[in-house]
Each structure stands twice: as C-alpha cells, then as structure tokens.
Amino acid sequence: MAQQTINVGTVANDGTGDKLNLAMSKINNNFDDLYENKEPSIDFGSPSQYFNGNKEWKNLDLTAVTGLQSALDSKVSKGGITGSGLTTASGVLLGRTTTSTGAIEALDSLATKTFLGLENVSNTSDANKPISTAVSTALAGKEPSIAGGTNNQFLRGDKVFTAVTKTNVGLGSVDNTSDADKPISTATATALGNKAALIHSHAISDVTNLQTTLDGKAPTSHTHSISDVTGLQNALDAKANATTVVHSTTFFLRSNMVPSQPAVDVVDYNYSIVLANSVARATVANTVDVVFTIKKNGSDIGTITFLANSTTGTIQVPTSGNLAVVAGDYIEVYAPATNVDNLAGMTVVLKN
C-alpha cells in the first residue's frame, strides 16, 4: 500500500484539512502496512559469522567468497621473494631472464636504466638539465633580446628605436593649430570665391520675372477715387458728417441724496437734449416708485421716474421731446423728500 498523507490545511483551524477520523484512519493504515511488511525477528550468530542473502548465518572463510582462493593462488607467496628474483608458487618467473640460460638476473647486477627502458635518461635535476636540441631549434627562430630605448621612442619595422614625430605617424602635413585658429584652406577659399558677398546688390534684370511683376504693380505714389474702393461710398453715406458733434450732460447720483443737495452739471456747448438718446440707469433698484426732478437754471424742466424693482428710469421733459440748452446753463437733478430707500448707483445722461 502506498503511504497515506494527512492533509493538515494551510493555517490552523482553517477548515481545509482532513477531519480527525479520516486523519487517524490514515495513521492506522500506515502502521498496518509497516507491521505487515517488516522483517521477522533474526536470531544471533557468532562474531565470526555473517548474514548472507539467504538470511542465514555463515562462517566467514575463503570458501565463503567466490573466486577468492583462485585469486590468492595466482599471487606470489611471501617466501617466493629472494635475492635472485621473484617466483610464484608455481615457479613462474616475474623478473628478467637471460637469453642463454633463462636464469633470473640478480637486481643489483642489472643495467637498471636499460631494464626500465630509460637508458637515455641522465640522473640530472630539473634545474640542471641542459637545453634540449628541439628547444634550441625553437629558440633559434625567436627574436633575440632587444636593447631598450627611451620613453619618447618607438620600435620601427627595422628593429631600431626612433623618436616619435608627426612624420613617423603619417601626419607630416598637420600643424599644431587649434580649430578656432585654423586658416581657410585652399579648397574652402576656392568655394567661397564662387559665392556672393554678404552685402551686395542686384539689377532688376538679375531677378527672373521681377520687371514683369513690377510692371503689374501701381506706383508708390498714386490716388484712388471713392468708386475705386468697393462699398466705400455706401459706408460713407451711413456715417455722420465730421461737423456733427455729440454733446451730453452726465450725472452720477449718490444713493443717499437729499432734496437740498442736488447733482449739478454746467453745460459747455449749445445743443438740444433728445429724449430718445438719453438714458437713466441704476445698479440697485428701489422697492417703491421714486421720481427725481430735473431743473435748468433753477426751473423745473422734467422728471426721471424709476418704478419699483426697476433699474431703468424714464426721462420726461414737457417740450415734446426736445430741450435746447446753451453754454453756461446749469442742469440739476433733485431727489424726492421720501421713498429713496435702496436705489443706488444711478447714472443719468442727457444727450443730443
């Protein structure tokens, strides 16, 4: 049976893990599986025994290891090593034999280096070994030692140290001049020679079609009649003559005016007041009707009436709409004795 894992959830008591009954069932199942498949109890053996694959205690000897005796038989016994050579238990020679008798040569009489295949090797330390022929040949193809030069020299291709100059680096024609101080080059001067001066002039004939274009223009000094200008006569007819002058008498009245303190203006020109052109305005309306009196040189000539809650006054002059005034006349506007409670910012303009 495969191992059964208990789901413990993400955090404590979050309700996502296994219920207690299911978790304990998984624990029991895991233990049952362990007990059903465990190894039964094994009796003790002796210290010289081992427990083999058949679950049996066996004595540990040469026969217990397959092939061990055969391997040992092929080795040289300790007594087989003598001063004249090495032999195995079966008499097989392990040293070098002579060509005539086949006897083993004593080790102390061998040409040791030749026996080891090192007859060309000298017993010389690495530090004292001579340069080999191959190394000498390789070194012969290398550059010999070069004598040093100075810091301002370089090694030329002919292996000679030479001072560094601008000619040596291919800049013999270059002068040590800053960009701002460089002269105009020959090529630049030639190119500039084909350009016009900054200040110069041209004849009309130098400019293509200029004369033709000028011929189609009017002279600088010329005149036009009114008929030459489209709509000019109609526009002039709609204007007043320059001798017509607009005159007016303007009053700016206080909100706290009293009958004994009228607003006064002295006329500077001779003109006739035209009611259609005259106006009376206020910025704040009165709550009831209010009537102001207009006087000329002390005599009543008309009234200004503001109806309740209206900021526009009505001007009345009992002379069929026109009133002639001359320079030196003084015009006065008197407030009524009562009923001027809120009216403010009143302006009266009597125009021709």
Give the pLDDT confidence score for residue 314 in this predicted structure: 92
Domain membership of residue 31 (yes or no) is yes
Give the pLDDT confidence score for residue 345 in this predicted structure: 83
Domain that holds residue 314: 248-351
Give the pLDDT confidence score for residue 208 in this predicted structure: 92
Indicate the pTM of the whole model. 0.32
The domain that holds 282 is classified in CATH as 2.60.120
Domain membership of residue 341 (yes or no) is yes
Domain membership of residue 293 (yes or no) is yes
Give the pLDDT confidence score for residue 241 in this predicted structure: 43
Q: Residue 117: left (phi > 0), alpha (psi -120 to 50), or beta?
A: left
Query: Rounded to an integer, what distance in angstroms lies between the CA atom of residue 13 and that of residue 20?
Result: 12
Give the pLDDT confidence score for residue 246 in this predicted structure: 44
Query: Contact, 266 vs 326, CB < 8 A?
Result: no
Domain membership of residue 6 (yes or no) is yes
Per-residue tokens: 307: 């109806």
Is the Cα torsion angle 180, 186, 191, 193 positive or negative in sign? positive
Domain membership of residue 107 (yes or no) is no
Q: Which residues of the chain have pLDDT under 50?
A: 81, 83-84, 88-94, 106-110, 240-247
Domain membership of residue 101 (yes or no) is no
Give the pLDDT confidence score for residue 101 in this predicted structure: 54
**Residue 185 buriedness (CB in 10 A; 0-12 / 13-18 / 19+):** exposed
Domain count, the chain: 2
Hey, which bits of 56-211 come out as E strands? 57-59, 81-82, 85-86, 153-155, 161-163
Contacts of 155 by beta carbon, 8 Å cutoff, 6+ apart:
146, 149, 161, 162
Domain membership of residue 136 (yes or no) is no
Domain membership of residue 263 (yes or no) is yes
Give the pLDDT confidence score for residue 95 in this predicted structure: 52
Per-residue tokens: 252: 């700016």
